[in-house]
Amino acid sequence: MLTFLVPQGAEHRAICQGLKHLKNPPQVIPIPIGVEPVTQFLRNWQRSQSFDAALQSGVLVMGLCGSLTVQLGIGDRVLYQSCQDASGTVWDCDPTLTAQIQQSLQATNSLVRAFTSDRILSSAHEKQQLGQVHQADVVDMEGSAILTILAEAGVPVAMLRVVSDDTDHDLPDLSAAISPEGRIRSLPLAIGMIRQPIAALRLIRGSLTGLRTLEAIAARLG
């Protein structure tokens, strides 16, 4: 049985909700947000018994992502073909496991090239430029770090995410809302939202759409 890795908080809750109908649900492990926090988390996880199970069956990473192309909009689900880090290194997801996930969903999913950022991208212009420079379709904050650690350890990894923000609109500046440990800080989050209410409302709507889609996907995968 696959092990699920999902960013902690709302994304983790959505996946667990989607799987709750199962008598024997897969293990869903909440991970911190950001490259450095998730790297440290995974290095510690490698010393646990649950990692041994993941080594045998594989890992499915699920969560939200941002679009870097006009071809992908809010609510679109994507399967990663590869993920690039800030140094330009490209990590490939496991093709066999990715094909299995595609078959399980019995639907067409966009196979995309992802880019992992070390910070939240709030500017639509910056996202558009990033997509063009790196030839990437979506952006997240954990993908390349997960592949760096787990692929090198021999763990098959597939990544399935849902787009929660597009390339046409700015997001609130929430750079202060993530702690060094990869957790959401409530007060800075609230302040960032209040300062840019229109962008905040758009972010909330996109996130809710993405979370509902994540929950539905998890229910089908289960």
DSSP 1-16: -PEEEEETTHHHHHHH
pLDDT of 107: 64
Greatest Cα-to-Cα distance within the chain, rounded to the nearest angstrom: 47
Whether the CB-CB separation of 6 and 28 falls below 8 Å is answered with yes
Q: b/e string for 163-175 if b means 16 or more Cβ within 10 A?
A: bbbbbeebbbebe
Q: How would you classify the pairing of strands 157-165 and 77-84?
A: antiparallel
> Over its length of 222 residues, how does the chain's per-residue pLDDT go in tens digits?
899 999 999 999 999 999 998 888 899 999 999 999 999 999 999 988 888 878 788 999 999 999 999 999 999 999 999 999 989 999 999 999 999 999 888 766 689 999 999 888 999 999 999 999 999 999 999 999 999 999 889 999 999 999 999 999 999 998 889 999 999 999 999 999 999 999 999 999 999 999 999 999 999 886
What's this model's pTM, rounded to 2 decimal places? Answer: 0.94
Which is nearest to 205 in space by CA: 31, 64, 56?
Answer: 64
Cα 21 from Cα 29, distance rounded (Å): 18
Encode pLDDT of 162-179 as tens digits. Answer: 999 999 999 999 888 999
